[in-house]
């Protein structure tokens, strides 16, 4: 299958989901309780007077990279334990506030460090809300504007710490998200929920020194220009019972190349240090299983791993999250 066919497949598969308490639904059947999926976010806002909190734990191993010819190449394991705390607070019936702090613990070889991550905040707006039973063919539609604030260390890494002391990217990154979702009754009390996330991110230039998040070496000093990023997340949920459900994310990410201006510095082997990255493609999946205690409380766990890519990392990650709505 060529690249254009792969992109078309990711763009048009009819999947995705995230939290059912925001769907307005009928009482004619026993409606499902959903928590997932692992990665895709909801297509409906949190209404005024309510909030949603979902602490996430990621255990990720970057074990390789994909070459320019789509071949996997093993690299030294780089393990990150990441704690993220996304919180949504309802502002009106059509808008909510989102914030997410992140803390990381990095380990590679015999080095390990705690490193604060970047902070994300933004606003979400409901353009249309799908109501079950549906009176229209339209899904729920939401637009979100997110800003990443560079709170994590991203430059002047110590040469003997193997990048474990870095936790951020150093850039103010603006992300625009278009989110779609809909709940469907398959038969009796069995439901299918799909969502589609379309995310576009552009980043400001970053002043870099020494070893940094984009490369570098001894004496590096200049400006990195991270490439624009586009991501499609397609996911689904299907309830086995009212409490138990299966979830899946299918994710495609396209990253433009990173450019650099300035003095490149010298790497540890005495060569001119690299401060750039080629444009990249990455495909990943995240199957999961969830248990919902009620319509407002559930837990989900699964794995997130790469399946193909070009000039991008290879990783696998264990993920668990607890979702609470009030």
Question: What is the CATH class of 3-201+227-254+277-325?
Answer: mainly beta
Q: How far is C-alpha 252 from the geometric centre of its chain's CA atoms?
A: 11
Strand duo 111-116 + 140-149: pairing? unpaired
Going across the sheet that includes 221-225, the strands are 206-209, 221-225, 259-263
Give residue 250's pLDDT: 98
Give residue 104's pLDDT: 98
Could you report the per-residue pLDDT of 177-230, keeping only the tens digit for each? 999 999 999 988 999 999 999 999 999 999 999 999 999 999 999 999 999 999
Q: Tell me how crowded residue 199 is: count the other CB atoms within 10 A of its CB.
A: 18
Give residue 134's pLDDT: 77
Give residue 28's pLDDT: 61
Give residue 131's pLDDT: 82
6 φ, ψ (degrees, to nearest 5) = -65, -45
Residue 7 structure tokens: 């992109």
Distance CA 300, CA 245 (A): 9
* Residue pair 140/127 in contact by the 8 Å Cβ criterion: no
Could you report the per-residue pLDDT of 224-264, keeping only the tens digit for each? 999 999 999 999 999 999 999 999 999 999 999 999 999 99
3-state secondary structure of 4: helix
For tokens 């995240």, the residue is 286
Residues of the chain with pLDDT under 70: 1-29
Distance CA 319, CA 286 (A): 9
Q: Tell me how crowded residue 231 is: count the other CB atoms within 10 A of its CB.
A: 19
Cross-strand partners of 29: none
Residue-range domain boundaries for the chain? 3-201+227-254+277-325
10 φ, ψ (degrees, to nearest 5) = -65, -30
* Residue pair 46/89 in contact by the 8 Å Cβ criterion: yes
């Amino acid at each position: 299958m060529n690249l254009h066919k792969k992109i078309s497949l990711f763009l048009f598969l009819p999947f995705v989901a995230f939290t059912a308490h925001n769907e307005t639904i009928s009482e004619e059947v026993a409606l499902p309780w959903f928590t997932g999926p692992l990665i895709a976010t909801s297509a409906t806002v949190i209404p005024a007077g309510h909030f949603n909190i979902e602490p996430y734990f990621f255990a990720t191993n970057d074990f390789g990279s994909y070459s320019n010819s789509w071949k996997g190449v093993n690299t030294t394991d780089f393990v990150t334990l990441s704690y993220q705390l996304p919180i949504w607070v309802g502002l009106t019936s059509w808008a909510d506030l989102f914030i997410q702090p992140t803390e990381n613990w990095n380990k590679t070889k015999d080095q390990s460090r705690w490193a604060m991550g970047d902070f994300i905040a933004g606003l979400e707006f409901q353009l249309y809300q799908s109501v079950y039973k549906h009176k229209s063919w339209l899904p729920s539609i939401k637009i979100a504007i997110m800003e990443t604030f560079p709170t994590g260390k991203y430059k002047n890494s110590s040469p003997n710490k193997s990048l474990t002391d870095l936790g951020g990217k150093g850039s103010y990154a603006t992300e625009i998200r278009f989110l779609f979702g809909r709940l469907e009754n398959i038969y009796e009390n069995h439901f299918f929920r799909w969502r589609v996330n379309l995310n576009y991110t552009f980043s400001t230039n970053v002043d870099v020194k020494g070893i940094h998040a984009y490369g570098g070496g001894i004496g590096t000093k200049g400006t990195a220009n991270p490439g624009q990023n586009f991501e499609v997340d397609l996911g689904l949920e299907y309830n086995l019972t009212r409490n138990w459900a299966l979830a899946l994310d299918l994710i495609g990410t396209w990253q433009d190349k990173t450019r650099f201006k300035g003095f490149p510095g010298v790497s540890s082997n005495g060569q001119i240090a690299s401060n750039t990255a080629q444009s990249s493609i990455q495909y990943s999946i995240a199957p999961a299983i969830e248990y919902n205690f009620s319509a407002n409380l559930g837990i989900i766990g699964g794995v997130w791993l790469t399946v193909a890519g070009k000039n991008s990392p290879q990783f696998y990650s264990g993920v668990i999250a607890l979702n609470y709505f009030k």
